[in-house]
Amino acid sequence: MPSLSRHALSAFVAATLSLAAPAMAHHSFAMYDQARLVTITGTVKDFEWVNPHSVIFVITGGTGGKPEDLWTVELSTSPGNLSRMGWSKHSLKPGDKVAIDLNPLRDGRHGGSLKKATLLATGEVLTTAPPSATPAVAK
Domain ranges of the chain: 38-138
Report field, pTM of the whole predicted structure over 0.75: no
Fold of 38-138: OB fold (Dihydrolipoamide Acetyltransferase, E2P) (2.40.50)
Strand, coil or helix: 138: strand
Share the mean pLDDT of the chain: 82
Q: Rounded CA gap, 18 and 12, in Å?
A: 10
Q: Are the beta carbons of 128 and 85 closer than 8 angstroms? A: yes
Report which residue type is found at 79: P
Express each pLDDT in 95-114 by its tens digit. Answer: 999 999 999 999 999 999 99
